């Protein structure tokens, strides 16, 4: 069944989404970009507060295609104790210049999730290269949160092909990018491992506002109901 990834900025928000049933708690700072990074000390505090009760992911930030910088950031983030480290691939240079360095980080036991951006016209065919490099998973998101959500940039057919190709290679799959509760029903048949939310979970639908427990519970319930229907029809 497709799980709920909820992006949080603090210990307090992590506790809210934990209680509301989030399956993956994602740590990032939405005020600092698409994959804005939280301070390492705050990540460590959230790791301690969650205490292994949920899978935790954390972003390394909207970083340039600098192999040394990416490697240092990945290792520092992994050292906080999170389960997954998310790295944004903002263009071809991240593959041509940085893939070897990221593969070395994986060899050092960091579990990496590659994040591709639907509004940057990504080459969805690179999924096999990421699998070969040892990535744990791959997800689609949006870089410019003012440019429309994921479904305004890629069709359901494209999203389905992306998910299926990644799954066939044994990768964890995720879809995110200003997703709305109303889109859950259309996205569930794609069978991604998780759908990621931030804006839809916040008060007033503002990405930088506080998490609203009722909104988290509503989307979790929507995912559960839709998943049960899918299983009944299978």
Q: Is 28 a catalytic residue?
A: yes
On whether the CB atoms of residues 16 and 46 are closer than 8 A, the answer is no
How many separate domains does the chain show? 1
pLDDT per residue of the chain (234 residues) written in tens, 0 to 9: 899 999 999 999 999 999 999 999 999 999 999 999 999 999 999 999 999 999 999 999 999 999 999 999 999 999 999 999 999 999 999 999 999 999 999 998 899 999 999 999 999 999 999 999 999 999 999 999 888 999 999 999 999 999 999 999 999 999 999 999 999 999 999 999 999 999 999 988 788 889 999 999 999 998 987 656 665 555
CATH classification of the domain holding 84: 3.20.20.70
Q: Please give the model's pTM, rounded to 2 decimal places.
A: 0.94
On whether the CB atoms of residues 113 and 174 are closer than 8 A, the answer is yes
CA 1 to chain CA centroid, Å, is: 17
Catalytic one among 41, 86, 121, 220?
A: 86
List the domain range (segments joined by +) for residue 195.
3-233
Question: 143: phi > 0 → left, psi -120 to 50 → alpha, else beta; which?
Answer: alpha
Q: Is 220 a catalytic residue?
A: no
Give the integer Cα–Cα distance in Å for 144 and 30.
11
């Amino acid at each position: 069944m497709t799980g709920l990834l909820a992006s949080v900025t603090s210990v307090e928000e992590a506790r809210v989404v934990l209680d509301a049933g989030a399956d993956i708690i994602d740590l990032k700072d939405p005020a600092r970009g698409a994959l804005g990074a939280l301070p390492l000390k705050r990540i460590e505090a959230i790791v301690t507060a969650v205490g292994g009760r949920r899978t935790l992911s954390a972003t390394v930030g909207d970083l340039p295609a600098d192999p040394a910088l990416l490697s240092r950031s990945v290792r520092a983030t992994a050292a906080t104790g999170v389960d997954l480290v998310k790295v944004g691939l903002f263009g071809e240079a991240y593959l041509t210049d940085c893939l070897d360095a990221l593969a070395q980080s994986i060899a050092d036991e960091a579990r990496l999730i590659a994040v591709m951006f639907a509004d940057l016209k990504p080459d969805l065919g690179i999924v096999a290269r990421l699998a070969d490099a040892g990535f744990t998973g791959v997800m689609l998101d949006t870089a410019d949160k003012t440019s429309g959500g994921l479904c305004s940039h890629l069709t359901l057919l494209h999203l389905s092909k992306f998910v299926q190709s990644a799954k066939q290679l044994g990768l964890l799959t995720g879809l995110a990018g200003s997703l709305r509760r109303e889109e859950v029903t259309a996205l569930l048949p794609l069978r991604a491992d998780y759908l990621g939310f931030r804006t839809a979970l916040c008060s007033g639908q503002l990405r930088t506002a506080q998490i609203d427990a009722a909104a988290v519970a509503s989307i979790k319930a929507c995912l559960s109901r839709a998943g049960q229907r899918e299983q009944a029809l299978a």
